[in-house]
Amino acid sequence: MTEWLQALDRLGERGVDAVLVAVLSGSGSTPRDAGAKMVVASDGVHGTIGGGELEFQALEIARGMLRAGDGRAARRFPLGAALGQICGGAANLVFERVPAGAEWVRVAADWHERGKPCVLVTPEGESEGGHLLVGAEEAWGSLGATARDAQAVDTARRQLAATEEGPRVLELGGSRAVFEALRPSDFNVFLFGAGHVGRAIARVLGVAPCRVTWVDGRAHEFPDEIAPNVRRVVTEAAVAEAARAPAGSYFLVMTHSHALDFELVEAILRRADFAFCGMIGSGTKRRTFENGLVKNGLGADALARFSCPIGIAGIQGKEPGAIAIAVAAELLQLHERAAAARRQAGVAPV
């Protein structure tokens, strides 16, 4: 997920400068892996690089850069006694001041919103240098030299086709640059229903590495504020919204209407290309739905992929918050298993 990019884009719309802090690499045990980022602005912090003294010192550096107007910096932090942390490793951080309205942020956010994967190429050093965004068929920006740009585009497109994640530092025309793939999340959750449980699930998934499309025909049921990774859709055509979902989506059905629940479940099971189809309800509700689905011609294979009740095993609470945590844990577990299987098979991320 690229929450940091969303944060920079929102800050830019408000005219607020920020510093992007990224874990470039590490050795030994570190609080966060390479690629972890946080965005530091004068009015708040978005994301984390692991907390503790490492993050405290990084925040001080970032805030100093905001005051001084500095451009880029790189620092190495041994995670030992001097830093008050016992991880035992070391973390290499890069800091970049991002002015409000930076065009590379706007373009990258637009590509991301359109589901277009790309590689962000940034000069590693503290000297001046632009950003280059490289997609499969087009590129935007420049590192400042045509030869370097051409080499970077070729390298970035090879990275896009690979399964490797996280930033890479590579030699490029006598200097070094950071190459990082920005891939739209393939973890798409479609949540149907804005009742008590739906609202609780939207809150929990709002801090998870996924994109949520939250659908209900009752506009007044949605809260005034929702997480940046949640898109609210007010429509009576919920079944049509399910049909438009990308392949590999995770569906959660919990509307105010049993009839609509049934329509949604049948439509999702018939499309067959989903990662998960789950409905809130009891064993009795499941059996009633199964009888109706069989009458409508769905077979045993489709019914075997229908989850009801939903939620990871072992959590018995029926409070909306407890259900939300159990459901989010189940989705996260399923998605991580699927991602691990793709990596093992050498399949590039979506």
Q: How far apart are the first and last CA of the chain?
A: 12
| 78 pLDDT higher than 60 | yes
Q: How far is CA 26 from CA 4, 22, 78, 88, 119, in A?
A: 20, 11, 10, 11, 21
pLDDT for the residue numbered 173: 72
| 83 pLDDT higher than 80 | no
The region of weakest confidence among 98-102, 318-322, 324-328, 337-341 is 337-341
Summarised one tens digit per residue, pLDDT across range 244-297 is 999 999 999 999 999 999 999 999 999 989 999 999 999 999 999 999 999 999
Summarised one tens digit per residue, pLDDT across range 173-196 is 778 888 999 988 889 999 999 999
Please give the model's pTM, rounded to 2 decimal places: 0.71
Any bridge partners for residue 20, and if so which? 39, 96
Q: Distance between CA atoms of 192 and 225, rounded to whole angstroms? A: 18
Q: How far is CA 215 from CA 73, 89, 126, 130, in A?
A: 43, 45, 46, 40
Summarised one tens digit per residue, pLDDT across range 87-140 is 557 888 989 999 998 999 999 999 988 888 999 998 876 555 689 999 999 999
**What average pLDDT is seen over the chain?**
89
Strand intervals (E) in 224-287: 230-234, 250-253, 276-279
Domains of the chain (ranges, CATH numbers): 3-98 (no CATH), 103-182 (no CATH), 188-340 (3.40.50.720)
**3-class DSSP state for residue 232?**
strand
Q: Are 338 and 275 in contact (CB under 8 A)?
A: yes
